[in-house]
Structure 1
Amino acid sequence: MSSTTVIDLRRIAKQLGLPEEGVLAAVQLIDEGNTVPFITRYRRDQTSGLDELQLRSITGAVGKARQLADRKQTILRTIEGQGKLTPELREEIDAAENTKVLEDLYLPFKPKRLSLAEQAKQKRLEPLAQEIIAADSQAADLEKRAADFVDDDSGVATAADALLGVGHIIADLFSTRADVRQRLRKLLFQKARLRSLRIETPGKALTKTAKHFRDYFDFDEHLQKVPPHRVLAMNRGERAKVLRVRVEGPTEEIQTIVDELVIPTDHPHADFLKGCCRDALSRLILPSLEREVRREMTDASEEHAIAVFARNLRNLLLQPPVAGRIVLAIDPGFKSGCKAVVLDSCGNPLARDILHVVGKVEQKTAAAARIVELVREHGCNVIAVGNGTAGREVESLLSELIVGDLQEHNVAYVIVNEAGASVYSTSQYAREELPDFEAAYRGAVSIGRRLLDPLSELVKIEPANIGVGLYQHDVKARHLHASLDAVVEGCVNYVGVDVNTASPALLRYVAGLNQAVAKGIIDWRAAKGPFTSREQFREVPGFGDAAFVQAVGFLKISEGTNPLDATRIHPESYQV
C-alpha cells in the first residue's frame, strides 16, 4: 500500500468513524510492510485497539483515496498539456471528493474518438456553434448564416447540413457540462426506476434458462429499493440474452432541468438549443448516466454479495473442531454407492469400503451390517455424512441403526457440508496426501476431516468453491478472491498454527509467509524432524527477518525447548 501521494487521513478517520490517531498509526504500520493480522494482535497499543475488520476497512479506504489522488494528478497533467488548465479548474479538481465528480470535470478535455461532434468540427462548423450559443448578432438569421458555411469540399452541401453539424457540436458541449451531469445523476438516484422485460423471440418456446428469470419478465422497482440479489439476477438474465434491463427516469422533469441549466432566458435561438438538448439527452447524457447508475448498483450489489460470502465463510472456518474422535465418514451416492472411510483422531485413514444404501433390500441390509462392523472394529464415536445426493437415505439408515444395532456404542451422526469436496479430491493437495486413494474416497476423507478440524481441511480448497456465497459466480473474481483470502488469512492467524503438524495449505495463510516459505517449512521438517525452537525458523530458506517478525507469533511449537514457543506470545516480549 506504499505511496508518495498525499491524502487526508483525518477525513478517512471521520468517514469510518474511527479514532484519528489509530488510523494514522495503522496506515504508517501498513506502509512499513506489516500485515493486518500482525498489527491486530501485536500492535493494538499503537492503533488504539483497532480490530482486523477495522484495519481492513482502513486499507480499502486509503487505497481508494490514493487512487483518486493519483487520478487527479494524471488529469491535471493532461489538461495542463493541452494548455487549458485554469486556476479555477485546478481548484475544482483538487476539491473533487469522488471519481464521479472528478470524471465530470475532466470530460470536456478528455480525448474523444471520431464522434459526430468531432466530424462537424473537422468541417469547420465550430465558429457557427459558438455564435449561436453566444447569441451573436451575426447568427440572428440561422438559415442565412448557415448558408455561409456551405462547402462541398468539406461535405457541407446545404445550410441544413451545416445546422445539423452545429447541433451535434452543441449537443456534445451540453453533454460534457459537469453541472448538468451532477444534477441529473442526483435526480436519477432519487426518482428513477429499474425496469426489466423479457426479450421475446417469435416462434420460440420459453427455454429452460429463461424460466429461471420468470420473476423479471416484467419487473419495475425504484432504484433505491432494489435489493442486491435482484440486481445480480437481472444482470445474469441480461448476459443470457433473456432480459432487457433499463433505468427509466422522469423524462419531462429531466428535460426541464437541462433546459434551465443550459439555455439562457430569452435566448433568440431557444428552440434550436432545445432540440440540441433533446439530442444530447437521448444520445449522450442519459445512456452514459444509465451505464454509470447500473455500474454503481452492480458494484454495491457485488460488495454486499462478497460481504455475505465472507461472513458465512468465516463462520464456517471457525466452527469448533471435534477433537479426539474416531470418525466414520460417508460420501453418499446413488448409482456408484456411498464411499465410506474410517479416520483416526488425527484424520489418517484406517479403512474404506463402498456401501449401497439405495437399491435392493439385500444391498441395504449388507450396507447396514458393514456400517455396524466398521464402527465396532475401529471404535468409531461419530459418523460424518455429506449433505449431497443420497444424503437423506443414508441419514434414514443411520437413524435406524443408532436406536438399534449401534445403541450400545453411543454413536452419533453429523451432517457435514460437502461443498468443494469433489474439487479437493482431484486437487494436487489430495494427490500428495492420499496417493493410494481414488478421487471418490478422497472426497469422503475430506468430509470426515471437516468434522475433525474444519479450518485445517477447508483451507485446502479455493474459498469460492466452498459454496456459502450469494451469486458468487456473478461477482468479479479478483475482488472475490482477494476478500475471501483475507477472511481465510484472518481465521488462520486468529486460531494459530502448530508448525509441526500444519499442511502447506494452512501455512501459506500465516501472516508474512507465502507458498514457497510454506513448502520450505515442510521440507525442513522432512529433513530434520520437528521444530523444537522458534529460532530454527530462520534456517528455512526464504524465512528472513521480516517474515520472522510477522509470522513467528502465529506459529506454535507444542513440545519445544521453550514453553513460551507454544503460546501466542511474540519472542520480542519474552523478556517482559
Structure 2
Amino acid sequence: MQTCVERWVCENIIKLLREENTVPFMVRYRKELINHMDADAVRDVQMNYESLCSLSKKTQSIIQTLNKDGVLSNELEWDLRSCRSADELDHVYSPYKKGSKLTKARRAKALGLEEAASALMDSPHTLDLSVCSCVKGLSTVEEVATGVENILADMIAKDPETLTYVKTLCERSSITIQSSVSKTALKEKEQEKFHLYFDFTCNVQRIQPHQTLAINRGESLKILSVKVNVPDRVKTDFTTWCINNRWRPKTFARGELIALIRNAVEDSFKRLILPFLTRSYRTKLTCAAEKESIAMFARNLRTILLVGPVRGCVIMGVDPGFRHGCKIAILSQTSQIQHTDVLYLHNSGFATRQKEAEKLRYLLLKHSCTKVVIGNGTACRETESFFSDLIARRFFHPLDVSYCITNEAGASIYSVSPEAVKEMPELDPNLRSAVSIGRRVQDPLAELVKIDPKHLGIGTYQHDVSSGALKASLDGVVQECVSFVGVDINICSEMLMRHVAGLSAGRARSIAEWREQKGPFINREQLKLVKGVGPKSYQQCAGFIRYCSNMKASCDQPAAPEEKPVAKKGKGKSTANVPPSFNPLDQTCIHPESYHVAQKFLALVGGSVDQIGSAGLRGCVESKVRASSVEDLASTLQTTPETLKLVIDGLTQPPGFDIRQSKDPADFKRGIVSMNDLRVGTVLTGRVDNTTLFGAFVDIGVGRSGLIHKSKITMDKLPVSQRRRSLALGPGERVEVRVLDVDTERGRISLDLIRVLQ
C-alpha cells in the first residue's frame, strides 16, 4: 500500500497515532511533524496503516492456526508472509481452511507425491518410481503424472515471484471488465435502472468509480452478469516465461517431462491464477470506487457542516405538508423555542387559507421574525409559492420577510430519536422537525451533528460501500469540523461536545454534569477536575475548547474556593492544582502547552493578554513581524515557526472568531422562478446542493436542481485557491452556471459551470 507521503512523515504520523493523538490535534498543533498535511491526507495514512496492521494480524493468526493443525511448512509460511494484500493472503490460505473442499494438490500431497514434484524441478527423472498399483491415484504413470501436475500447478499459483510477474503482464495489457444482462433480469423490477450496463465493456484503468458501484449493485440484484477479460497474450507470455525461466528444470529433462510442466503451467493459469486475477481486479476496482465514494461523502459532509451560520435574527422553521399541515417553530436569536404551531396552508378553502395567513402574519410580527426556513420535502414548492405570493403583496409590512429552502433530510429521523425526546420532551415529533429545520440554518454545525451523517442525503451509493469505513471517515470529518470551529464549553450541547477531539460520549456527559452541579467553567484547567478527563484527553481537547468573553465579568466577583478531588490510594482522580481565575488566552485557538510562548511574545511586542484581538495589538504584531521574520522570532522564543504562527493567529483574531465567517450562509429570497422560465444559454447563479461521482447538483431557485456533469468541472473554472486533488464541488458553494438543456417532461436541467463565486 502506497501513500505518496515521505517516509519520515509516515513514521511521525504512526508514532503520533500510537501515542493516541487525534487527527485534529495533529493537524493544528503538530504541523511540523506531519509536514503541514491536511486532515484528509493524515486520515489516508491512518487508514493504510490500520489496513497493514490488520493484514499483519490476520497473517499471524492464520500461521498459528495452520501450525496448530500441523499443515504449516516453511515454504507455506514464507508464501503467507510474502502476501501484500488480503486478497493474496486469502488466495494462499483458502485451500487450508477448515471445511473447505480438499483441493487436487492436497489430495496429491496426501498420496506422497510432493517430494516427487519438488524433485522434478531439481533433477528430472521418470515418474514410474512413484507408481504403486495397489493405491488409487498411484496405480499408473498417468495417474502419478496428473498428481504431480496438480502439485506443480498449486506451487506456481502461490509463488510470490510468479504472481508478481503475471500482474506485471496484466499491467502492460488491456484488461477489461464486461457486464451484460443476466438471464434472471427480466423478472427484476429495477432492471431499467441498469440499462446502460446491459452491454457494457470498459478498460479497468478507465472505468469510473460510479460505474463500478453501479455494476456491483446490478450484480448483487442478479440483474447483471460481470466478468473480467484477460487477453490470450497474457497467458501465452506467462506460459513461455514459466517454462523458460522461473519453472525451468535445473538440468536436462526429456520431452514428456517438459510437456508435464507445460500442462501444469497452463492448468495453473486457467484454474487458479485467472480466477485470482479476476477476484483481485474486482476487489481493487471496488476498493478504489468505495474510497472515492466515501471521500466524496466526506467532502460533502465537511462543506455542509461548515456553512456559515445565520446569527442575530429570529427564524421560523417550516416543515411543509399537505394533509397534516405545515409545522412551524419560531426560534430566538439563540435558537430557543419561542412558539410552535401547525398551519393548514394547502388543500383548504380560500377562507381557511386567509385565516391561516393572518395567523402567520400575527406570529411573525409578534416575534419580529423576518427569516423563514422551509424544508425541501413534501409540499415544499407549494409552501414556497404561498410565502412568495404574500411577500409580493407586502402582506407582512412593515416586516421585510424573506425565505430560504434547506435540506430537511434526517429531520424526521432525528425528531423521534432519544436525543430529541430528551432535548424537547414536550413537543410532538412533527414540531421537533420544524425546530431542527430552523436550527440547521441558524447554526448548521450544532444542529447537524445530532443526525447520523448517512441520513443527510449528501452521498451516493452509501449502501454499497463498507459501512465501517464510511462511518470511520464521517466520524473523523465531524470531529475535525467541530474541533476546528471550537465549542463554548459552558453553553454547547452534550451532543456537540462529544465530537470534540479527545472527548467521548462519556466524557461529554461528565462535563455537562460538572457544569450543572458546580456552575460554569472559568478556565481550561478546570477540565482536569472532571471525571474521565485525564492528561491525554485534556491535551487533545484543550485547544478546541472556548470560554465566552463575559466569563471575565463573572470572574471578577470573589470566587468560592475550588473543590479539589481528594487524593486516593491506588487508582482515582489525582489532585490537580487548578487556579480559579479567568485566562484570556482560553478564548483563543492557542493550546495551553504554548501559553508560555504567547506570554513571551506579548512581552516582546509590548502587549498584554487584555488586548487580545484588538486593533492595537494587531498593529504591534504586524510591525514586529515585518521588522523580523517569523522564523527569527521563533528562534528567539525557542519555539517552532508553526507554533509561533498559531500563537500570532490566536492573539490577533477578534473575540469570537469563527472559521465559518468566510463561508456564505443560506440564501434568502423573496420571489420564485419556474422551471418553465428557463432558456438555453441563460446565465444564473446558484448553490451546490449535492455532489456525486458523476457531477454536482445545483439549486438555481426553480424547484429542481440542475446537474453540472463532471466533464464540465474543469481545473480552469476553479479559483487557484480552490484547486484541489478532486475537482468535485462541495455543497454550499456558490457558482455561476449556464443552462445547456431543459427537459421539463423529465424534470431535468443540464448546466455548464462558468466559475465558482468567491
In the alignment, structure 1 residue 171 sits paired with structure 2 residue 159: no
User: How far 1:342 sits from its partner (Å)?
Assistant: 1.2
Alignment of 1:235-274 (within 5 A): 235-262=216-243, 264=248, 268-269=255-256, 270-274=258-262
Contact 1:72 1:102 in 2 (8 A): no
- Matched residue type, 2:477: V
User: How far 1:500 sits from its partner (Å)?
Assistant: 1.2
Give the equivalent residue in structure 1 for 2:292. 304
Give the equivalent residue in structure 1 for 2:339. 351
Alignment of 1:18-33 (within 5 A): 18=6, 20=8, 24-33=11-20
Change (3 A) 1:64 1:124: closer
Tell me the distance in 2 between the aligned counterparts of 1:338 and 1:186: 63
Contact 2:301 2:458 in 1 (8 A): yes
Contact 2:131 2:144 in 1 (8 A): no
Contact 1:180 1:258 in 2 (8 A): no
1:213 alignment partner, SS class: helix
1:230 alignment partner, SS class: helix
Which residue of 544, 547, 550 maps to 1:557?
547
Change (3 A) 1:299 1:45: closer
In the alignment, structure 1 residue 544 sits paired with structure 2 residue 534: yes
User: How far 1:336 sits from its partner (Å)?
Assistant: 2.2
Change (3 A) 1:301 1:50: closer
Which residue of 409, 426, 450 maps to 1:419?
409
- Matched residue type, 2:193: H
Tell me the distance in 1 between the aligned counterparts of 2:298 and 2:213: 17
Tell me the distance in 1 between the aligned counterparts of 2:33 and 2:204: 43
Q: Which moved more, 1:330-339 or 1:488-497?
A: 330-339
Tell me the distance in 1 between the aligned counterparts of 2:168 and 2:347: 63
Tell me the distance in 1 between the aligned counterparts of 2:206 and 2:117: 43
In the alignment, structure 1 residue 341 sits paired with structure 2 residue 362: no
Tell me the distance in 2 between the aligned counterparts of 1:100 and 1:182: 15
Q: Number of residues paired by the alignment?
A: 550
Contact 1:318 1:491 in 2 (8 A): yes
User: How far 1:435 sits from its partner (Å)?
Assistant: 0.5
Contact 1:149 1:162 in 2 (8 A): no
Tell me the distance in 2 between the aligned counterparts of 1:502 and 1:212: 45
Which residue of 388, 394, 419 maps to 2:383?
394
Unpaired segments of 5 or more residues in structure 1?
Answer: 1-10, 140-144
Tell me the distance in 2 between the aligned counterparts of 1:52 and 1:103: 31
- Matched residue type, 2:30: R
Q: Which moved more, 1:389-398 or 1:50-59?
A: 50-59
- Matched residue type, 1:393: E
Change (3 A) 1:17 1:97: farther
- Matched residue type, 1:437: L
Contact 1:344 1:350 in 2 (8 A): yes
Give the equivalent residue in structure 1 for 2:465. 475
Tell me the distance in 1 between the aligned counterparts of 2:538 and 2:544: 10
In the alignment, structure 1 residue 498 sits paired with structure 2 residue 475: no
Contact 1:197 1:243 in 2 (8 A): yes
Contact 1:150 1:159 in 2 (8 A): no
Contact 1:149 1:159 in 2 (8 A): no
Tell me the distance in 2 between the aligned counterparts of 1:243 and 1:109: 27
| RMSD over equivalenced CA pairs, Å | 3.3
Query: 1 or 2, which has the higher helix percentage?
Result: 1
Tell me the distance in 2 between the aligned counterparts of 1:283 and 1:85: 22
Give the equivalent residue in structure 2 for 1:99. 85
Change (3 A) 1:178 1:535: closer
Contact 2:310 2:441 in 1 (8 A): yes
Give the equivalent residue in structure 2 for 1:7. none
Which residue of 123, 131, 135 maps to 1:148?
131
Tell me the distance in 1 between the aligned counterparts of 2:327 and 2:526: 42
Give the equivalent residue in structure 2 for 1:6. none
Q: Which moved more, 1:307-316 or 1:29-38?
A: 29-38
Tell me the distance in 2 between the aligned counterparts of 1:24 and 1:478: 25
1:409 alignment partner, SS class: coil
Change (3 A) 1:285 1:30: closer
Change (3 A) 1:327 1:99: same
Tell me the distance in 2 between the aligned counterparts of 1:147 and 1:54: 59
1:464-517: CA deviations, max 9, x gaps?
222211211111111111111110111001100011111111111112111111
Contact 1:228 1:302 in 2 (8 A): yes
1:45-82: CA deviations, max 9, x gaps?
55554443343344334444555666787789989995
1:191-226: CA deviations, max 9, x gaps?
11111112123xx84532222222112211111111
Q: Which moved more, 1:444-453 or 1:531-540?
A: 531-540
Give the equivalent residue in structure 2 for 1:142. none
User: How far 1:461 sits from its partner (Å)?
Assistant: 0.9
Tell me the distance in 2 between the aligned counterparts of 1:281 and 1:216: 29
Q: Under a length normalisation based on structure 2, what TM-score does the superposition of the two structures give? A: 0.66
- Matched residue type, 1:16: C
1:569 alignment partner, SS class: coil
1:415 alignment partner, SS class: strand
Alignment of 1:354-373 (within 5 A): 354-362=342-350, 363-373=352-362
User: How far 1:133 sits from its partner (Å)?
Assistant: 5.2
Change (3 A) 1:175 1:53: closer
Tell me the distance in 2 between the aligned counterparts of 1:519 and 1:532: 18
2:205 alignment partner, SS class: helix
Contact 2:80 2:92 in 1 (8 A): no
Tell me the distance in 2 between the aligned counterparts of 1:539 and 1:209: 58
Counting aligned pairs with the same residue, the percent is 35
Contact 2:137 2:147 in 1 (8 A): no
Tell me the distance in 2 between the aligned counterparts of 1:253 and 1:571: 62
Give the equivalent residue in structure 2 for 1:8. none
In the alignment, structure 1 residue 211 sits paired with structure 2 residue 211: no
- Matched residue type, 2:224: L
Q: Under a length normalisation based on structure 1, what TM-score does the superposition of the two structures give? A: 0.86
User: How far 1:542 sits from its partner (Å)?
Assistant: 1.4
1:146-200: CA deviations, max 9, x gaps?
993433x445566554444343223222322333322322333441111111212
Tell me the distance in 2 between the aligned counterparts of 1:370 and 1:45: 60
Q: Which moved more, 1:472-481 or 1:207-216?
A: 207-216
Which residue of 440, 446, 451 maps to 1:456?
446
Unpaired segments of 5 or more residues in structure 2?
Answer: 556-581, 600-758
Tell me the distance in 2 between the aligned counterparts of 1:165 and 1:503: 70
Contact 1:401 1:407 in 2 (8 A): no
2:450 alignment partner, SS class: coil
Change (3 A) 1:166 1:335: farther
Change (3 A) 1:187 1:406: farther
- Matched residue type, 2:159: R
User: How far 1:271 sits from its partner (Å)?
Assistant: 3.9
Give the equivalent residue in structure 2 for 1:41. 28
Change (3 A) 1:332 1:252: same
2:190 alignment partner, SS class: helix
Contact 1:510 1:554 in 2 (8 A): yes
Q: Which moved more, 1:314-323 or 1:403-412?
A: 403-412
Change (3 A) 1:550 1:149: same
Tell me the distance in 2 between the aligned counterparts of 1:311 and 1:511: 19
Change (3 A) 1:93 1:396: same
Contact 2:178 2:226 in 1 (8 A): yes
1:328 alignment partner, SS class: strand
Give the equivalent residue in structure 2 for 1:378. 367
Q: Which moved more, 1:171-180 or 1:485-494?
A: 171-180
Tell me the distance in 2 between the aligned counterparts of 1:454 and 1:291: 43
- Matched residue type, 2:495: A
Which residue of 179, 182, 192 maps to 2:175?
192
Tell me the distance in 2 between the aligned counterparts of 1:185 and 1:334: 60
Contact 1:26 1:55 in 2 (8 A): yes
1:246 alignment partner, SS class: strand
1:449 alignment partner, SS class: helix
1:549 alignment partner, SS class: helix
Give the equivalent residue in structure 1 for 2:479. 489
- Matched residue type, 1:456: A
Tell me the distance in 1 between the aligned counterparts of 2:214 and 2:87: 29
Q: Which moved more, 1:354-363 or 1:372-381?
A: 354-363
1:441-461: CA deviations, max 9, x gaps?
111111100000000001111
